[in-house]
Structure 1
Amino acid sequence: MKKLVVAIDGHSSCGKSTTAKLVAKDLGYAYIDTGAMYRAVTLYFLEHYIDFTNPKKIDQALQEIHITFERNTKSNRNEVFLNGLNVEDEIRKMYISNKVSEVSCIPAVRHAMVSQQQKMGRKRGVVMDGRDIGTTVFPDAEVKVFMTADVDTRARRRQQELLDKGELVPLDDIIANLQKRDLIDSTRKESPLVRAEDAEILDTSHITIDEQVDFVLHQVSAKLLEQELAKRK
């Protein structure tokens, strides 16, 4: 059976990553968290004092950045490695969240990351989540879902994620961060956060993770059935 590309786009803290991971596991597909790639670049830029407005320094830095995903056998999850160092926990911290949208809107950064993502998904059989998967990275993805949720729900979820990792952040600060990121992501010139015309909308404000996963799997099943029927004609 032909393997598909499943593109899951949407706003921050809608449950994209959790849903995408579970969908990939159910399908036996690879999972790629593209947001983590931009977070890793942000971490590198901050640690090396890269000026976000200096194209020469940015281009030089991008040549030194190598991002990989490796399976943690204990937690059974893919974790992000930056130049051989596990940065999975560090890139999820609030100080990275405060800067990642600024970094991800830099054209050179987007071009570099999109190129890597396209290589990762070239063989199909992949679930990718991010902001521009269905519009820029894989506009030919067979299944596209655009996830959203109201900002208060997203903020509470994000606050709980941070608490689980020992970081206490006021809810108002998280709401402000999400609103800022939404504005930057949706108004940037390079690959803005927009719903692809053929993407199904999934509002996760009042549904469970299981319901989110079922929704995406239903889209996949429908597409596979459609392809099978087309082959029989």
Structure 2
Amino acid sequence: MIFTVAIDGPAAAGKGTISREVAARFGFAHLDTGLIYRATGRRVLAGEAPLAAAQALLPEDLRADGLRTPEVAQAASRVAAIPEVRAALVDFQRRFARRKGGAVLDGRDIGTVICPEAEVKLFVTASDAVRAERRWLEERAAGHDTPLEDVLAELRARDARDAARATAPMVAAPDALVLDTSAMTVPEAVAAAVAQIEQRLPAE
């Protein structure tokens, strides 16, 4: 069975958590496409040119330490705005999406650019304040002492960059279900996503 679930949305909205839970629930493979850009950004921070970093990306780069730091997140957003970098990484994502056994991909342009043919499309969002607090708590747990107002400013800057880029801007696909998790618990958000998928799964 080939069945693709595309989950898009801004940072700290909950799409990663929902994606992992959904993949586990249905036995689908999961790809956090943000890691592709974070890994590319990490290589750029180490001195490589953006396109060369994308073309040389290896599977083990997605398991490297330090991919969740604020610095790498900002570098990821910057390289993701480069059309040539995005083009270099598209084929990898599309092959993963249409693999047998089902796949869940989360990112910012999965339902619009990478997999417009996806069987299920979700756009997960939340208010700026809620997302900033979630990211702030994550960073504190990881040992980063960034002020909450700085986290909020970084999120808004990244949102603006991701939404305004000329190639593959972050936007909900016309046929995507918009899921606002601002007032949802994780189980509630996962249940909403699961319900959408169950409606579209082919009958056995």
TM range, smaller chain: over 0.9
Partner of 1:214: 191
Question: Which of residues 153, 158, 168 is equivalent to 1:191?
Answer: 168
Q: Secondary structure at the match of 2:53?
A: helix
Tell me the distance in 1 between the aligned counterparts of 2:98 and 2:14. Answer: 25
Q: Secondary structure at the match of 2:67?
A: helix
Tell me the distance in 1 between the aligned counterparts of 2:32 and 2:63. Answer: 15
Note the aligned Cα RMSD (angstroms): 1.6
**Structure 2 counterpart of 1:114, which letter?**
V
Cα gap change, 1:142 to 1:151, in 2 (>3 Å): same
Q: Secondary structure at the match of 2:167?
A: coil
Tell me the distance in 2 between the aligned counterparts of 1:60 and 1:150. Answer: 36
Cα deviation digits, residues 105-163 of structure 1 (max 9, x gap): 10111111211101112225001000000001100000000011001100110011111
Tell me the distance in 1 between the aligned counterparts of 2:104 and 2:28. Answer: 7
- Is contact 2:42-2:75 (8 Å) kept? no
- Is contact 1:20-1:31 (8 Å) kept? yes
Partner of 1:107: 83
Question: Which of residues 146, 156, 159 is equivalent to 1:169?
Answer: 146
Rg comparison, structure with higher value:
1
Greater strand content:
1
Tell me the distance in 2 between the aligned counterparts of 1:196 and 1:218. Answer: 19
**Structure 1 counterpart of 2:56, which letter?**
E
- Is contact 1:15-1:204 (8 Å) kept? yes
Tell me the distance in 2 between the aligned counterparts of 1:59 and 1:218. Answer: 39
Partner of 1:77: none
Identical counterparts, % of pairs:
39
Q: Which runs of 5+ in 1 are unaligned?
A: 51-56, 69-80
Aligned residues: 203
- Is contact 1:97-1:177 (8 Å) kept? no
Tell me the distance in 1 between the aligned counterparts of 2:53 and 2:178. Answer: 36
Cα deviation digits, residues 41-63 of structure 1 (max 9, x gap): 00000102x4xxxxxx4433333
Tell me the distance in 2 between the aligned counterparts of 1:115 and 1:31. Answer: 16
Tell me the distance in 1 between the aligned counterparts of 2:97 and 2:163. Answer: 24
- TM-score normalised by L of structure 2: 0.94
Question: Which of residues 103, 106, 114 is equivalent to 1:126?
Answer: 103
Q: How does 1:63-212 map to 2 (within 5 A)?
A: 63-66=55-58, 68=59, 81-82=60-61, 86-87=63-64, 89-124=65-100, 125-212=102-189
- Is contact 1:24-1:30 (8 Å) kept? yes
Tell me the distance in 1 between the aligned counterparts of 2:69 and 2:51. Answer: 25
- TM-score normalised by L of structure 1: 0.83
- Is contact 2:4-2:98 (8 Å) kept? no
Cα deviation digits, residues 23-82 of structure 1 (max 9, x gap): 00000000100011100000000102x4xxxxxx4433333221x2xxxxxxxxxxxx31
**Structure 2 counterpart of 1:215, which letter?**
A
Tell me the distance in 1 between the aligned counterparts of 2:93 and 2:43. Answer: 19
- Is contact 2:40-2:50 (8 Å) kept? no
Tell me the distance in 2 between the aligned counterparts of 1:165 and 1:58. Answer: 27
- Is contact 2:93-2:114 (8 Å) kept? yes
